[in-house]
Chain A
Amino acid sequence: MSLIRLDAICRHYEMGSETVHALRGVSLTIERGEYVAIMGPSGSGKSTLMNLLGCLDSPSSGIYELNGHHVGEMDDDELAEIRNREIGFVFQTFNLLARSSALRNVELPLIYAGVGLEERREIAIAALTDVGLADRLTHKPNEMSGGQRQRVAVARALVNKPSILLADEPTGNLDTRTGAEILELFQNLADKGNTLIVVTHEENVARHAKRIIRVRDGLVASDEPVT
């Protein structure tokens, strides 16, 4: 069984009297352990697709199956739980809690998962060590470089052992060198068998993935392995 199965997914918004069709019937499957890049120009429906994959949004019609769960029929609380357990987000702007230390930031998903205090601390420290930040536990985001912040975000995304890591322009706010570092980290994660989905509009970022899905006008334009 596939990890992700989208079948004829449509998503439209009511903008005043007009209806905007962001997705017009997307079907695709992603297997466990794949490293996929989703590309497309702005307005292509790429962000909507990512929000759907990340269970932040529900499709207007169609079927979305994630790890055997029918996401389309879930209510708000169930979606929150799925996000907590199955999905790790990495954002372009890092989206860390500015006033909390790296450790607190990484602990956050565990708090909502109901993990106890000491266990939580242990797991979070291990996750930060995995991304090479064992010596930055008590630093706040504004005391760290962009690359370090993004690594905290990756540690936070992975701390609950999710089924997929969903990254939205993960290198967009980083210089080339630190961007390359993050991509290397992603490569390592993929090699360890994690499922990665990277949404980007940079060709050279997408090239790191094993498979590129191009979206255009709310439809999958092409879906091919990277050669």
Chain B
Amino acid sequence: MRRFLAELRESIRMALGAIATHKLRSCLTLLGVLVGVFSIILVMTAMRAMKNNIEKELGSLGSKTFVIQKMPGAYFGGPEGFMKFMRRNDITFAQARAFQRKAAFVPAVGLQASFWNGELTSRYDRTPPNLSLEGATPGTFITNNWGIIEGRPLLDSDLESTRDVCLLSEDVAKTLFPRGSAVGQRVKAEAISYSVVGVFERAASSEGAQGLAVIPITSALNRYGRRRQITILVQASDPALIDDAMEQSRGVLRAIRKVPPGQEDDFEVLSSDSMIKQFQTVTFAVRTGLALVSSIALLAAGVGIMNIMLVSVTERTREIGIRRAIGAKRRNIMTQFIVEAIVLCEIGGILGVVLGMLGANALAVYLLKLPPAFPVDWAVIGLAICSLVGVVFGSYPAYKAAHLDPIESLRYE
């Protein structure tokens, strides 16, 4: 073992020497490997950065809460597949109400729908025009983990009397009422006036998200029309029970929507986990495809490596003869040339990994505004593939070198 390591070290040293003597040729050869690994790492790093970001957003629901809605969480298929979801009947307010009544097995159910996007104004200021006006129930605050920090929560009586009250997210309240409390003040959305009864804060991960103004869902339906897709938010009592709760909820909603037995659901039940999983299945094909294309580049690079190694063996016939005369076994010569191929590939591979990660993160950070990602697993896989390419395409030249006749090769000019 010790002897093998010593031999390996010697081989690496000899390989570096041989590569250094033919700098231009070596550079051109390892360029192929570099490009192959670069593209793998570029794609994987970019995907990882996107994935991290999407998972963070999808994961903001928390581990206890799940969502029931008409559309799936992530869909990247063709328009036909999408139409299948579009043709589903909306989850109506009546159905959602019925669900809420029957869902006694969970501690909290909230209904939520987005009704209007625009600019909210107060006496003092106005919000950016991307504010979202949401209709909600008291349960929505619990399931979304919205904490009341000022004023009062939304009440069932607000819904029953369809009051024109609203609660503002903290950022909106700060914008509209820079000096003093928002509670008790009035805000206007396109000339419709609401009195602010409370201010709530959201989870830290939603920083920079669009501002929210929440009004009783009944008031919203009356004002903006009843044909709305309602999203049902459900919170289980414990993360461990979320699967059971999801299963029960499916049954309840199927009964309400009269889905015949044996037919698939005409709605989606999504938890953070299931959304992340859905996203991963959708992107799996993309990732595999890109990895495959990059592998073809590596294959081409491997042929280049083999070509150069064959030239190198012929050029160094005499050196091989000398080594054999001095006592190198076939195995030694074989090792030397395979190690040389691997070293060549690894240099290209390491450069490819570094450049790929830099490139992808530059893309992610500056263009897509995502936090950088360093997929160590892919770096390792990339380098392992490089070694494999070296072994596979270095083997034949090495075999050829090892089986040269020592007498002939000593005479070789």
Q: If A76-B330, A95-B410, A116-B6 touch, does A89 touch B325 (CB 8 Å cutoff)?
A: yes
Distance (whole angstroms) from the CB of B227 to the closest CB of chain A: 82
B6 touches A83 (CB 8 A): no
A113 contacts which chain B residues (CB < 8 A)? 327
Interface residues of A in 93-135 (CB under 8 A from B): 95-97, 99-100, 108-109, 111-114, 116-117
Q: Cβ of A56: which chain B residues have Cβ within 8 Å of it? A: 324-325, 406-407, 410
Interface centre among B319, B322, B325, B406 (most CB of A within 10 A): B325
- 8 Å CB contacts to B: which residues of A51-69? 51, 54, 56-57
| Contact A156 B326, CB 8 Å, known A56-B407, A91-B410 | yes
User: CA separation between A77 and B410, bound complex, in Å?
Assistant: 18
Kindly provide the distance from the CB of A222 to the nearest chain B CB, expressed in whole angstroms.
26
A96 to chain B: closest CB distance in Å? 8
Which residues, 308 to 346 on B, are CB-close (under 8 Å) to A?
Answer: 318-319, 321-332
A100 closest partner in B (C-beta): B17
Q: A97-B322, A114-B6 are in contact. Are A83 and B410 (CB under 8 A)?
A: no
Total number of B residues with any Cβ neighbor in A under 8 Å: 24
Expressed in whole angstroms, the Cα–Cα distance for A156 and B325 within the complex equals: 12
Known: A99-B21, A114-B6, A116-B6. A109 touches B407 (CB 8 A): no
Judge whether B6 and A80 touch: CB under 8 Å: no
Q: Which residue of A lies closest to B11 (CB)?
A: A111
How far, in whole Å, are A56 and B325 apart by their CA atoms in the complex? 7
A96 to B318, CA, bound (A): 10
- B3: CB under 8 A from chain A? yes
Known interface pairs A57-B407, A116-B6, A117-B6; A97-B319 also in contact (CB < 8 Å): yes
Q: Does B10 contact A (CB under 8 A)?
A: yes
Q: Which residue of B lies closest to A157 (CB)?
A: B326
Query: Which residues of chain B have C-beta atoms less than 8 A from A160's C-beta?
Result: 327
Contact between A99 and B410 (Cβ–Cβ < 8 Å)?
A: no
**How many Å from the CB of A75 to the closest CB on chain B?**
10
Neighbouring A residues of B331 by C-beta, 8 Å: 77
By the criterion CB–CB under 8 Å, are B326 and A84 in contact?
Answer: yes
Bound-state CA distance A54–B326 (Å) is: 10
Establish whether residues A114 and B3, one from each chain, have CB atoms under 8 Å apart when the complex forms: yes
Query: Could you tell me the distance in whole angstroms from the C-beta of A113 to the nearest C-beta in chain B?
Result: 7
User: Given A91-B410, A116-B6, are A83 and B330 also a contact pair (CB < 8 Å)?
Assistant: no
Shortest CB-to-CB span from A198 to chain B, Å, is 17
Report the bound CA distance from A15 to B318 in whole Å: 23
In angstroms, Cα B323 to Cα A84, docked, is 10
Not counting A111-B7, A114-B3, a sample of 10 additional A-B residue pairs whose C-beta atoms are within 8 angstroms of each other reads: A56-B324, A56-B406, A76-B329, A77-B330, A80-B329, A83-B324, A91-B410, A95-B322, A108-B323, A113-B327
Binding site for B on A (CB under 8 A): 51, 54, 56-57, 76-77, 80-81, 83-85, 89, 91, 95-97, 99-100, 108-109, 111-114, 116-117, 156, 160
